Structure formats: C-alpha cells, structure tokens
Amino acid sequence: MLEVRDISHFYGKEKILDNISFKLPRGSFTILTGESGSGKTTLLSIVSTLLLQSEGTIIFHNTPKCSIDTMRNRHIGFIFQFHYLIEHLTVMENIKMVTKKSKREILKLLATLDIDTLAHRYPSQISGGQRQRVAIARAIVNEPKYLFADEPTGNLDSKNSKIIFDILRSIKATTLVVTHDSSLILEDDRILTMRDGQLIKG
Ligand SMILES: Nc1ncnc2c1ncn2[C@@H]1O[C@H](COP(=O)(O)OP(=O)(O)O)[C@@H](O)[C@H]1O
Ligand SMILES: [Mg+2]
C-alpha cells in the first residue's frame, strides 16, 4: 500500500497543493484527474519521489527500507506524456539499457504489449501509440512495485489512448495515472479528482 498523508506544496509563497491525503491499495489502479492547473503533475511528482513536498509524508508500506534514490531506481516505474525513448537506439536496445534481463525475456514482455515484431526498429520507424507502448515496456521491465504515469496518452488518438489505458489497468504494480480526459475513465476505476490543489469527493 502507498499512503499519502497531509501533503501540501508551495511554489514560492503560492500554495499549490492543500493538505492532500489518500491511500492506494497494493496492486490497485487509480486515475488522478482534474482540470489543467489543478495540481495533478505536482502531486504525481511528489508521490513518485521526483519532487520533494513542502509538508506531509509519503509512506511506502511493505517495501524494504531503503533510501529514496534506491526506491526511485528499483521500485518505481515512470511514464510521461512524451516517451523519452533514445532515437538512435532500437526498441530492444532502449529497453536493454535499463535492465539485466535477457533479450528473450524482453521479447516476451514486448509480445504482451503486441510490439515484439518492432524490436529492431528505431523510435522514428514506429507509430506514436507503439512508441508509448515501448515506454511502458521500459517502465515495467524491472517489475516495479509502483507505476506512475503523467498524461501518458496526451499525444495519442482516442483508439490508441484506450489501448494504453487497458494495458495500464492490467499491470500488477500499484498504479497511479494522471489524465484530464474523462472519456478514458471506466465505471470500475478508482478515481481521485483535484480542484484548485485539493482533492474533491466523487
Ligand atoms: N515549477 C513551478 N513553479 C511555479 N509554479 C508552478 C510550477 N509548476 C506548476 N506550477 C503551478 O502550479 C499549479 C499546478 O500545476 P500542475 O501541477 O502542473 O497542474 P496540472 O498538472 O493539473 O495541470 C499551476 O498553477 C501551475 O502554474
Ligand atoms: Mg500536468
């Protein structure tokens, strides 16, 4: 379980996040939504250890005690709106770079995302939706306990966006995904909604 307790954040004197608390059950999938400027990226950055909060605590329960750097490197996967793949490396090489796993194991993972036939292509030779699936593969190849994604479908059409969200729902990690696109939310999804730096009910 991941527990967020009384998080507030300031940029200068401006309060951007106001006393936010929630829990993510182990292995759950949760969508963080809300209007542009409501504080989603700031909150996700804090929860995922990329940004240090002004106030409050993040508790990673049942995770071996380790430094925040080890936590970030070993237990957390990240996906961003832009894929950040390395253009002069193939799909396989982009993933091989971040893992000790064998090429065979990587191909197996790529197959689950339906992109195994693209292993030897370069990012410029595949579609936007495929690139984002490669970014997902890279984020989950080391089997992180936690997965965080900020507007991962921001550059994709609605069909590819739905595919990406179905993939994210199927991942075993405790997953928190930011989107402002309510058409991607399903009835059974856990949802956190932000407004003006606060979590609102419903
Ligand atoms: N590095 C920063 N410095 C100052 N203000 C920022 C910074 N990042 C974001 N903000 C402000 O914080 C508020 C929340 O931004 P953000 O977390 O990016 O929201 P969202 O992801 O929901 O669009 C906005 O008003 C934004 O202008
Ligand atoms: Mg944002």
**Domain residue ranges of the chain, discontinuous segments joined by +:** 2-200
For residue 138, which phi and psi values (nearest 5 degrees)? Answer: -65, -35
Query: Which residues face 24 on adjacent strands?
Result: 2
Alpha carbon 93 to its chain centroid, in Å, reads 21
pLDDT score of 63:
83
What mean pLDDT, rounded, does the chain reach? 95
3.30.565.10, 3.40.50.300, 3.40.50.170, 3.30.70.20: CATH of 2-200? 3.40.50.300
Mean pLDDT of 141-166: 94
Residue 91's identity, in one-letter code, is V
What is the model's pTM? 0.94
Q: What is the largest CA-CA distance in the chain?
A: 52
Residue 83: pLDDT band (50, 70, 90) is confident
Kindly tell me if the per-residue pLDDT of 202 is higher than 60: no
Ligand 1 atom nearest residue 42's Cα: 17
- 38 within ligand 1 shell (Cβ under 6 A): yes
Secondary structure (3-state) at 129: helix
Kindly tell me if the per-residue pLDDT of 65 is higher than 90: no
pLDDT score of 201:
74
Mean pLDDT of 94-103: 97
- 82 within ligand 1 shell (Cβ under 6 A): no
37: CA distance to ligand 1 center in Å? Answer: 6
- Pocket test residue of 8, 11, 33, 199 for ligand 1, highest count of atoms within 8 A of CB: 11
8 Cβ partners below 8 Å, 6+ apart? Answer: 15, 17, 18, 19, 20, 53, 54, 55, 56
- 40 within ligand 1 shell (Cβ under 6 A): yes
- 13 within ligand 1 shell (Cβ under 6 A): no
- 10 within ligand 1 shell (Cβ under 6 A): no
CB contact at 8 A, 179 and 41: no
Kindly tell me if the per-residue pLDDT of 161 is higher than 80: yes
pLDDT score of 66:
86
Structure tokens at 80: 């961003």
151 Cβ partners below 8 Å, 6+ apart? Answer: 80, 81, 178, 179, 180
